[in-house]
Amino acid sequence: MRLNRKTHILGKISANSFLKNFWQKKPLLIKNAIENFVSPITEKDLFRIAQDEEAISRLIEYKQGIWQVKHGPFKKSDLLKETNTPWTILVQNINHYLPFAESFLNLFKFIPYARLDDLMISYATKKGSVGPHYDSYDVFLFQAKGLREWKISNQKKITLDKKSPIKIISNFKSKNTWLLKPGDMLYLPPNVGHWGISLSNDCLTYSIGFRAPGTFEIQSKFLDFIQDQLITNVNEIYKDPHLSLQKNPAEINSNMAKVIQKIVDRLRWDTASVNTFIGQFLSEPIENRIFQAPKPLSFANFKKYLISETLKLNPKTRMLFIKSNFYVNGEYIKVHKKYVIFLKQLANDREISLEPTLNKKDLNALGIILLPLYLSGFIDFI
Ligand SMILES: [Mn+2]
């Protein structure tokens, strides 16, 4: 199954109308989001990825009235066991492993990349479930294979099961029950209680997850950023040549307090530096910060490839921009305004093919911008 980049996945609803009426507001069921969908990704792919040292995966079972969770990496024998207990395995960041999963995320371009997290896929045997729960983030749940029943709640008062190792709503009350077949999709805003139960032994659900930074995270990361920007001047230390005798030696005199206050007040930031922080912060990869460096390539050869091959972002790479400032995996990239158009294309489409007719000067300039990204493993040729 091949996906068209322009496939509309919201059924009869336009992207504008979805954002206006549903996004972060209310659940939406879309029957036949993709017609005749056949998942090229199978449970076998998940089992293979779940054995990878770097992969993030969980296996969840409900045994004798208790929810049990095991964290990966798993051994093959953990996954192929014959059991009467229904189970679910969830594997994170599938878009880092499988090109189809990466192209599937392209269908969600109506949400900015800065908000997009990853494609998680879960496989469940019949009756497998992770229980009634809510998530703090928006999610699209796309049924890729088999059948899953979703119970959705609109309850305001939520009680969590304190004894459970996973988040379980103990007073779950369902308002709607929806049966999802392959190609159907459910959108849930944050904090909506939901309970998905597999009705078949081949249930595969794709979860398109979003991220939203917390206020504390933004503020503390910003203070780290400011700290990194401080110019340390070892020669500048507190002086008090006019110190006068004080009655209480333990008292911090008002002069000292004033001088320190002035030093603190000298900490300043403007829109440009806040924007640099925002770009670096939002383009920072959260999981798997390690990028594998490719075989070194000479500048001349790199330029040859640039005009003959398609350049593509590594699936783990986050590339964002604010106006004409670019940020790749937490790093600020300086770009002359003449080349902004190329970098925007690379960021938006996550790939770019340069014309062989590109003049030498421009090719050189783009090579200088892109070679360091290539050598860091952030971009590669198809
Ligand atoms: Mn959930």
pLDDT of residue 233: 57
Cross-strand pairs, 320 = 327
Residue 91, judged by CB atoms within 10 A of its CB (0-12, 13-18, 19+), counts as buried
Distance 151 CA to ligand 1 centre (A): 11
Residue 123 backbone dihedrals phi, psi, to 5 degrees: -120, 135
Distance 4 CA to ligand 1 centre (A): 27
Rounded Cα gap, residues 94 and 41, in angstroms: 10
Distance 86 CA to ligand 1 centre (A): 18
Of 165, 191, 210, which residue constitutes the final position of a domain? 210
Distance 38 CA to ligand 1 centre (A): 23
Note residues around ion ligand 1 (Cβ under 5 angstroms): 135
CATH code for the domain in which residue 332 is found: 3.40.366.30
Of 150, 180, 210, which residue constitutes the final position of a domain? 210
- Do you know the residue count of the chain? 382
In a domain, 174, yes or no: yes
pLDDT tens-digit readout, 354-374: 998 999 999 999 999 999 999
Rounded Cα gap, residues 201 and 126, in angstroms: 5
In this prediction, residues 143-163 reach a mean pLDDT of 95
Range of the domain at 328: 299-381
Distance 130 CA to ligand 1 centre (A): 8
In a domain, 270, yes or no: no
Using alpha carbons only, give the angle 281, 282, 286 rounded to the nearest 5 degrees. Answer: 85
Distance 143 CA to ligand 1 centre (A): 13
pLDDT tens-digit readout, 106-139: 999 999 999 999 999 999 999 999 999 999 999 9
Q: Domain count of the chain?
A: 2
In a domain, 80, yes or no: yes
Do the beta carbons of residue 109 and residue 175 sit within 8 Å? Answer: no
pLDDT of residue 92: 96
In a domain, 112, yes or no: yes
Going by pLDDT thresholds of 50, 70 and 90, the confidence category of residue 60 is very high
Distance 135 CA to ligand 1 centre (A): 5
% the chain with pLDDT above 70: 99
pTM attached to this predicted model = 0.92
Q: Are residues 203 and 87 in the same domain?
A: yes
Based on its alpha-carbon atoms, the radius of gyration of the chain, rounded to whole angstroms, reads 26
Distance 194 CA to ligand 1 centre (A): 7
In a domain, 124, yes or no: yes
The DSSP line for 157-207 is ---B-TT-SS--BTT---SEEEEE-TT-EEEE-TT--EEEEE-STTEEEEE
Distance 247 CA to ligand 1 centre (A): 65
* Cα 115 to Cα 138, 189, 208, 281, distances in angstroms: 10, 13, 11, 12
In this prediction, residues 296-300 reach a mean pLDDT of 95
- The yes-or-no verdict on residue 85 having pLDDT over 70 is yes
Distance 285 CA to ligand 1 centre (A): 22
In this prediction, residues 169-196 reach a mean pLDDT of 97
Rounded Cα gap, residues 365 and 368, in angstroms: 5
In a domain, 376, yes or no: yes
Q: Are residues 195 and 325 in the same domain?
A: no
